[in-house]
Amino acid sequence: MTQPPIFLIGEAYGENEARLNRGFVGSSGSLLIRMLADSGLITLNKADRACIHKFHTDAEPRWLDRVWNAHPSVYRTNVFNIHPHNNDIEGLCGPRVVGCDGYPALTGSKYIRAEFEPELDRLRDEILQHNPNLIICLGNTPLWALAGRSGIKKWRGTTLESTHTVGGYKLLPTYHPAAVLRGPELRPIVLADFDKATRESAYPDIRRPHRDIWIEPSLDDIKRFIESYIRQRPYDPLSVDIETYGSRITCIGFGYTDVAIVVPFDDSRTKSGNYWPTLEAERAVWGLIRPVLEDERIPKLFQNGLYDIAFLARSVGILVRGAEEDTMLLHHALQPEMEKSLGFLGSVYADEGAWKHMRTKTKTIKRDA
């Protein structure tokens, strides 16, 4: 059985696209083909690759259309197969009262006008016809059309499920090639997202890694976690992460790939703002944590550990030993041109959701870089 194509969705036609009534046959399409080839999602023959490098972003539109047609493993379309005036998608927008029913604002207080709903119906029919395992949303407009969300920087690299236009399809948002033309520093990020797309296109469901996370622990829970996991896995790197606010550590987490514990110290639900009922109880918690952090026989892994280690020493007088790895520094060694925040690393290397966007409050903050 032939695997369904990877479904690429852009924003709208440009001048070349409108002339041929085909998507991605302009400068953005030329760059997109090159990035797809560089990531291994398509394979160009020697002649086509030579032409790509010769023309760069000025390849002849009909030739680009021929290259697309030679690669049925990918299917390209747009949310709007029309050419907005001056290539400005906001030209299709109006106030909320004239917006598409059930869709949020595309940006700010600007809503796609209801007169363009037939384009969304056409997009739905295309998706149902091809029934892809994966839809790559190239830019903010397809993210809006299929997930009802905006902010491509916030959501790129994270698999989502479509909720608008047509539901139940797996989405992977990334930057539009036009954004890469304006900001070449985005290119390695898009290539990393295409690497993830290669894996995600093999199956239609969203698969998150399973792990047990212990939250709101008691003192006995912390003792049990240390004895049952940390002391029993002396050769596995123990991930350590703190969250801070002002001069306080608000919580500390310990974990492995399959199990973790979060030990809170602040709790906004209590009158005092503290998780532990007494100072003596909080001291007892630190009495359990200190030997773990100071035991050099336990290998430890941090994200921006220079911050965590210095903060632990300054705030609670704990001198961390056994710190062997740092995900931020390891990533920087591999990809020095990319962002280094933990959320970004998760979007590139893991199959997690965008966990930092699940927060309803942002009081607890720690710098990632």
- 300-302: strand order across its sheet: 212-214, 259-264, 248-255, 238-245, 300-302, 323-326
Q: Which domains can be identified in the chain, with CATH numbers?
A: 6-200 (3.40.470.10), 212-358 (3.30.420.10)
Kindly report the number of other CB atoms within 10 A of residue 338's CB atom.
Answer: 17
CA nearest to 229, candidates 253, 208, 264, 209: 253
How many whole angstroms separate alpha carbon 123 and alpha carbon 103? 15
Stated pTM of the model: 0.88
Residue 262, beta-bridge partner list: 253
pLDDT in 10s for each residue of the chain, 369 residues: 578 999 999 999 998 899 889 999 988 998 999 999 999 999 888 877 777 666 555 568 888 888 899 899 999 999 999 999 988 999 999 999 999 999 999 999 999 999 999 999 999 999 999 999 999 999 999 999 999 999 999 999 999 999 999 999 999 999 999 999 999 999 999 999 999 999 999 999 999 888 899 999 999 999 999 999 999 998 999 999 999 999 999 999 999 999 999 999 999 999 999 999 999 999 999 999 999 999 999 999 999 999 999 999 999 999 999 999 999 999 999 988 888 998 899 998 888 777 666 665 555 445 555
Phi-psi region of 284 (alpha: psi -120 to 50; beta: other; left: phi over 0): alpha
**Could you give the CA distance from residue 167 to residue 124 in angstroms, rounded to a whole number?**
9
Say which residues have a Cβ less than 8 Å from residue 139's Cβ, sequence separation at least 6: 10, 11, 152, 175, 176, 178, 179
Helix locations, 229-357, DSSP H: 279-294, 305-316, 327-334, 342-349
